[in-house]
Structure formats: structure tokens, C-alpha cells
Amino acid sequence: MAEKPKAKDGTLRALVREVLAMAPGYGLTDEMLCRAVRELLPVNSADDSAILTAAEWNLGKDFVSTAENEDTDEREWRITHHGLAKQSLK
Amino acid sequence: MAKRKKAKPDWDAAPRKTHANAKVKNLPEADQETLWLLLHPTDKETPPCTLEAAMVHLQEEFGVECALSTFSEWHSWYSLKKRMEKAASRAQQATLEFAQDHPDATPDDLEKYGQMIFTAESIEHGDAKTFTALVRERSRRMALELDRRKLVLLEAAAAEAKAKLAAITQKAKSKGGLTAETLAEIEEAAGLL
């Protein structure tokens, strides 16, 4: 059986921004972010590590930011102003 | 070998085709909402449209043609967008109510509370019941912490007032009674309470 095509890095990077831009000001944990991005992709076309790698790339470009939630000890991802501006250029 | 520079775009060339997915996403919000309601009617007696039927409406009413897979992608995207926006709206509302009930809450407290509500509202799958109980417990603890801070401030104010009144009483005794000046000092100390 032919392997399903994997989502491209560029696609994942854009989807990470798109998901976070849906609720600016609020953070998504790793699990929430990965689950949301997978909803926008064909089934089994990306695993969590690929999605988080895309998120890390966006972090390096200052399109997204992270912060640790003191109550849950979980990392939360948020879109930055730079990331919102990037989305508005589409 | 020298790197060849990329040719500058020919602005007179044919415009780039809009991505099929973007055609539906870029429809006015009201039109996208119309499509959504066709697929998910709020009226229980109205049966939901199939994706194929909604696509016919998309073409006839909005003049947009796309493949079924593209429309299905839009449907997934819009569904997620609605859930996220609803969660953000609920979190904002809950934060406003919390701020009204707890005027001593700092901006940091309100941000944490809003995030907690947003996370809870965003959960669609998994153990939502347990998480809701956890949110309630954290909310109760936050309210208790704010009350505790208020109590500490009140206790400090009471201690300061008590010390002032004790000093005033001592002064009044040594001077042989209450003067107008001493009365004014007592009023000031009482105002701390």
C-alpha cells in the first residue's frame, strides 16, 4: 500500500500560525496545538513531533511565543503581533 | 560561479490564481456563516445539508467553484475557528465577571483566570468532566487567595490604627485631657479602619 504523503514543513508552519491566530492572546498547550493542526490536515499526514518542529521554527522567527503555565507546568503557545502581521499578509 | 539573481516579477503578467481553499475562506464572514448554518442548522427540525448540496449553494449564490476536498477542508477549518472563537469569547466574559466579583485581582490574576477558562472551553475530546472540576477548584483557590490578600491588608491597616490610637491616648493622658487637636488625630486614626 502506498504511503500517505506527509504534510510539507511550510504547510505545517503556516497551519501553526493559523491555529494560534484564531484566538490571539490565549495560549495552546503542545497537545492542544497538535490536535488543532491535525484537524486541518488529511489523516496521518503529520505527527506531533513534525508539528512541534514547525512551531519551534515559528518561535525562532518571533511569529509565536511560549510561556510556562505556573498552574499546569505546561508550555503554552501564543501568536505574537509579528505572527498576526504575517497572517494578515496572506 | 556567480549566483544568478532572481528575475524581477513581470507586473504585467497574468495575475496569480487564488488558491481554491482561499476562495471560500476569503468569502465575507456572513456568507461563510450561511454555508455553516446550511450544514449545521440551529433549528432542530431543519435537516442539515450534505457537503455536496452546500457546494451547489456556494456556486449558485456566491459564484465560487471548488473541489469537494477543498470544501471539506474549509469545513474543518471553519469548525475549528468557531470553536476557538467561542472559547475565547467565553473566557473573556468569565474574566469580566471575575474582575467584577474580585476588584482586587491584578492583571496577572485576570490573565491566568482567562487562560484557565479558555483551556477548559477548548476541550472537545478527553476527560472534560475532570478538567471542569479542576477549573472549578482552581477558581475557588484563586478567589480564596484574593480574599486572603484583602485580609492581610485589612489587618495591617487595623494594626496601624491601633498603634496610632494608643499613642494619641498616651499623649491625651499626659496633657490632662482631650484637646481639639487630639480629637482630630483620633478621627484620622479611625479613618484607617
CA angle A42, A74, A68 (to 5 degrees): 115
Distances (CA, A) of B48 to A24, B69, B90: 31, 19, 26
Distance from CA of B133 to the nearest CA of A (A): 14
Question: Is the Cβ pair A28, B116 closer than 8 Å?
Answer: no
Segment B98-125 mean pLDDT: 88
Residues of B in contact with A71 (CB under 8 A): 112, 116, 138
| Buried/exposed A42-64: b ≥16 CB within 10 Å, e otherwise | eeeebeeebbbebbebbbeeebb
Q: For an interface test with B, which of A71, A73, A78, A90 has the most B Cβ atoms less than 10 Å from its Cβ?
A: A71
First to last CA, chain B: 84
Rounded to whole angstroms, the Cα distance separating A51 from A53 reads 5
pLDDT of residue A54: 97
Q: Which residue among B76, B79, B87 places its CB closest to the CB of A23?
A: B87
pLDDT, one tens digit per residue, over B8-44 is 555 545 555 556 567 898 899 999 999 999 999 998 8
Contact B143, B110 (CB under 8 A): no
Q: Could you tell me if A67 lies within 8 Å of chain B, comparing CB atoms? A: no
Whether the CB of A27 is below 8 Å from some CB of chain B: the reply is: yes
Q: Is B3 exposed, middle or buried (0-12, 13-18, 19+ CB in 10 A)?
A: exposed
Residue B110 pLDDT class (50, 70, 90 cuts)? very high
Distance (Å, whole) CA A59 – CA A68? 14
Whether the predicted pLDDT of B74 surpasses 60: yes
pLDDT score for B142: 75
pLDDT value at residue A64? 98
Q: For residues B141-153, give the mean pLDDT.
A: 80
**Residues of chain B neighbouring A90 (CB-CB closer than 8 A):** 22
What was the pLDDT predicted at B185?
Answer: 77
How far apart (Å, rounded) are the C-alpha atoms in residues B129 and B135? 10
Q: Which of the four pLDDT bands, split at 50, 70 and 90, describes residue A17?
A: very high
pLDDT at B190 over 80: no
Residue type, position A35, single letter: R
Which among B73, B80, B115 has the least Cβ separation from residue A36?
A: B80
Average pLDDT, chain B: 81
Q: Using the 8-state DSSP alphabet, how is residue B2 labeled? A: P
Interchain contact A90–B (C-beta under 8 A) = yes
> ipTM score of the complex?
0.88
Q: What is the mean pLDDT of residues B60-67?
A: 90
Between the alpha carbon of residue A39 and those of residues A18, A44, A46, B16, B127, the distances in Å are: 12, 10, 11, 28, 19
What is the torsional sign of CA A24, A26, A27, A28? Answer: negative
- Residues in chain A with CB shorter than 8 Å from the CB of B112 are 70-71
What strands, in cross-sheet order, belong to the sheet with A64-68? A28-29, A75-79, A64-68
- pLDDT at B151 (0 to 100): 85
Give the distance from residue B144's alpha carbon to the nearest chain A alpha carbon, in angstroms. Answer: 15
Contact B95, B117 (CB under 8 A): yes
Average the pLDDT over B167-187 and give the result. Answer: 76
Residues in chain B: 193
Nearest to B142 by CA among B163, B186, B172, B111: B111
